[in-house]
């Protein structure tokens, strides 16, 4: 059995982590680039908007509140545009990169938790399949049926005393 809700959450977090990595790669590329086209700027601003919306939707769907080490929104808001990146001070750059990294770790903790739930569910499914196979054995079925009949017989016998 597959938990579709759990699988959807895993997909949602994975997609967000991929977007988060894309944001960082774009930021790093922009740090060494002196100028940007209007199209690059527009794409970057769309990426920021998408990140903000998807992050909020992801957290809401899982019922999670941001923790102290989760700086996702801080990073998104610290980088106003591609054109602003070369003007960041070394201290701002270090803070931004630390905040991005902390957020990345937090996102991977969430992913790990979801994957653990998936693994636990898989163990339960395997046990259920093994039990089904066991019950398909006619001898085991006969023993269970005899056990059930003897239990009902004892119950009826006690009631009619």
d(CA 22, CA 16): 10
Domain span including residue 74 = 4-123
Instruction: Confirm whether pTM is higher than 0.85.
Output: no
- pLDDT tens digits, residue range 119-143? 888 776 555 665 666 667 777 677 7
In a domain, 108, yes or no: yes
For every residue of 11-62, DSSP letters joined together read HHHHHHHHHHHHHHHHHHHHHT-S---HHHHHHHHHHHHHHHHHHHHHHHHH
Answer yes or no: is pLDDT of 52 > 70: yes
Number of Cβ within 10 Å of residue 4's Cβ equals 8
Who has greater pLDDT, 123 or 149? 149
What integer is the mean pLDDT of 29-56? 92
Who has greater pLDDT, 38 or 125? 38
In a 10 Å sphere around its CB, with 0-12 CB exposed, 13-18 middle and 19+ buried, how is residue 54 labelled?
Answer: middle
- pLDDT tens digits, residue range 93-103? 999 999 999 99
In a domain, 88, yes or no: yes
In a domain, 160, yes or no: no
In a domain, 83, yes or no: yes
In a domain, 155, yes or no: no
| pLDDT for the residue numbered 161 | 65
In a domain, 138, yes or no: no
- pLDDT tens digits, residue range 70-92? 889 899 998 999 989 988 899 99
In a domain, 115, yes or no: yes
Nearest one of 131, 27, 117 to 79, comparing CA atoms: 27
| Lowest model confidence (mean pLDDT) among 31-40, 49-58, 63-72, 151-160 | 151-160
Q: Predicted confidence band at 153 (pLDDT cuts at 50, 70, 90)? A: confident
Q: Is 66 in a helix, a strand, or coil?
A: coil
Domain count, the chain: 1
Place of tokens 């016998």: 157
In a domain, 133, yes or no: no
Domain harbouring 37, CATH code:
1.20.120.440
Number of Cβ within 10 Å of residue 99's Cβ equals 19
> In degrees to the nearest 10, what's the CA dihedral of 75, 61, 43, 22?
60
């Amino acid at each position: 059995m597959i938990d579709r809700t759990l699988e959807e959450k895993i997909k949602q977090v994975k997609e967000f982590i991929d977007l988060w990595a894309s944001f960082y790669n774009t930021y790093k590329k922009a740090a060494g680039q002196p100028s940007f086209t209007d199209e690059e700027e527009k794409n970057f601003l769309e990426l920021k908007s998408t990140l903000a919306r998807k992050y909020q939707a992801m957290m809401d769907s899982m019922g999670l509140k941001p923790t102290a080490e989760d700086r996702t929104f801080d990073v998104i808001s610290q980088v106003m545009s591609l054109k602003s990146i070369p003007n960041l001070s070394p201290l701002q750059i270090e803070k931004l990169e630390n905040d991005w990294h902390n957020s990345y770790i937090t996102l991977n903790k969430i992913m790990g938790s979801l994957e653990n739930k998936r693994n636990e569910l898989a163990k339960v499914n395997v046990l259920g399949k093994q039990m089904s196979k066991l019950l398909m054995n006619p001898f085991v079925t006969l023993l269970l049926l005899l056990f059930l009949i003897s239990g009902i017989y004892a119950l009826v016998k006690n009631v009619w005393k």
